[in-house]
């Protein structure tokens, strides 16, 4: 009898589509053969090299495939020093909660060589170099450990620029240092979807539904039922067990809830989501397709 009740619950829970509520204000993976991408620009200050589009495979240059698709944006090192800028198109109407996400990988497994860095800067006026007066981070590329290189994920809140239009610049400076590449540059609000209660009736047990849709791109819905009130955590993990997102971490009442998850800033692949509440743990698998 219990199996029949659960089946009916699954059937009649309303499916809330969050895909239209997620606004990707910037989503660039450098897949187009046009480089720089439309609205972007590159500036060569010194040295012979410039930012370029690089497609997989690229042996002996970057030893990992792109985060998504087949291409990345790469800047090579300069034997006698170089400075090069890659500047995004205008990103309109930054809101409270928006964040910048991107991936970076060091080009060489060797080193460290003379210092080099990647400065990530923001302009709230235009794309002229002098206008980038806000520095989000200075990434010490030379300080990234030697050996087999992997993609590093960076994220930065943009709430301080709420209500403004912005440009983001990736400024690479080196002196016989390391080249690097970036991929999957995204701006959106990962918390814009929120948690919605879809049923107040107390279920006969706490459990986690399979996400819908699955596979998904870039967003999906995760529903869960709570028999008892208490602290609830719902977290997403990658295939290696690394936590990539905390969707819920609050005290909640009984009922059935739905929360949206966007993988806009993540590479395609298998992910796991885990519900923990009142000593109960439930784990399920989902697939992000890009």
Mean pLDDT over 237-250 rounds to 92
Band of the pLDDT at 34, cuts 50, 70, 90? Answer: very high
Domain-wise residue ranges, the chain = 2-22+193-288, 26-188
Condensed to tens digits (0 to 9), the pLDDT of residues 122-133 reads 999 999 999 999
Mean pLDDT over 63-87 rounds to 91
pLDDT reading at 50 higher than 90: yes
pLDDT reading at 13 higher than 80: no
Average pLDDT over all residues of the chain: 87
pLDDT at 45: 96
Condensed to tens digits (0 to 9), the pLDDT of residues 93-142 reads 999 989 999 999 998 787 767 778 999 999 999 999 999 999 999 999 88
Residue given tokens 């080249």 in the structure block: 179
Domain 26-188 matching CATH 2.40.30.10: the answer reads no
Q: What is the 3-state secondary structure (H, E, C) of the chain?
A: CHHHHHHHHHHHCCCCCCHHHCCCCEEECCCCCCCCCCCCEEEEEECCCCCEEEECCCCCCCCCCCCCCCEEEEECCCCCCEEEEEECCCECCCCCCCEEEEEEEECCCCCCCCCEEEEEEEECCCCCHHHCCEEEEEEEHHHCCCCCCCCEEEEEECHHHCCCCEEEEEEEEECCCCCEEEEEEEEECCCCCCEEEEECCCCCCCEECCCECCCECCEEEEEEEECCCEEEEEEEEECCCCEEEEEEEEEECCEEEEEEEECCCCCCEEEEEEEEECCEEEEEEEEECC
Mean pLDDT over 54-66 rounds to 82
Condensed to tens digits (0 to 9), the pLDDT of residues 136-195 reads 999 998 888 888 889 999 999 999 999 999 999 999 998 878 889 999 999 988 776 678
pLDDT at 283: 96
- Token pair recorded at residue 223: 């529903």
Mean pLDDT over 259-269 rounds to 92
Pick 3 or 114 by higher pLDDT: 114
Residue given tokens 């698998």 in the structure block: 285
207-208, strands of its sheet edge to edge: 195-199, 255-262, 219-226, 207-208
**CATH entry, 2-22+193-288, from 3.40.50.300, 3.30.565.10, 2.60.40.1930, 2.60.40.10:** 2.60.40.1930
CB contact at 8 A, 222 and 261? yes
Mean pLDDT over 268-289 rounds to 96
Tell me: cis bond preceding 275? Omega within 30 of 0 counts.
no
């Amino acid at each position: 009898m219990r199996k029949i009740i659960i089946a009916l619950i699954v059937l009649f829970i309303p499916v809330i589509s969050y895909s239209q509520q997620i606004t990707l204000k910037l989503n660039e993976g450098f897949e187009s053969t046009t480089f720089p991408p439309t609205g972007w620009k590159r500036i060569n200050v010194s040295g012979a090299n410039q930012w370029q589009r690089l497609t997989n495979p690229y042996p002996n240059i970057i030893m990992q495939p792109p985060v998504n698709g087949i291409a990345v944006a790469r800047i090579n090192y300069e034997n006698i020093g170089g400075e090069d800028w890659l500047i995004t198109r205008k990103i309109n109407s930054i809101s409270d909660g928006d964040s910048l996400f991107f991936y970076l990988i060091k080009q060489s497994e060797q080193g460290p060589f003379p210092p080099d860095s990647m400065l990530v800067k923001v302009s709230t006026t235009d794309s002229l170099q002098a206008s980038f007066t806000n520095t989000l981070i200075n990434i010490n590329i030379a300080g990234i450990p030697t050996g087999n290189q992997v993609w590093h994920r960076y994220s930065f809140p943009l709430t301080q620029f709420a209500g403004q239009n912005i440009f983001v610049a990736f400024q690479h400076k080196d002196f016989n240092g390391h080249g690097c590449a970036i991929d999957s540059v995204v701006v959106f609000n990962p918390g814009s979807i929120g948690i919605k209660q879809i049923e107040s009736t107390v279920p006969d047990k706490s459990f986690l539904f399979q996400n819908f849709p699955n596979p998904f791109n870039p967003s999906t819905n995760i529903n869960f039922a709570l028999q008892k009130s208490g602290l609830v955590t719902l977290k997403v993990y990658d295939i290696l067990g690394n936590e990539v997102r905390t969707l819920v971490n609050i005290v909640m009442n009984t009922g059935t809830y739905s929360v949206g998850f966007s993988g806009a800033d993540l590479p395609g692949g298998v992910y796991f989501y885990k519900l923990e509440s009142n000593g109960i743990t439930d784990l399920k698998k989902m697939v992000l397709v890009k």
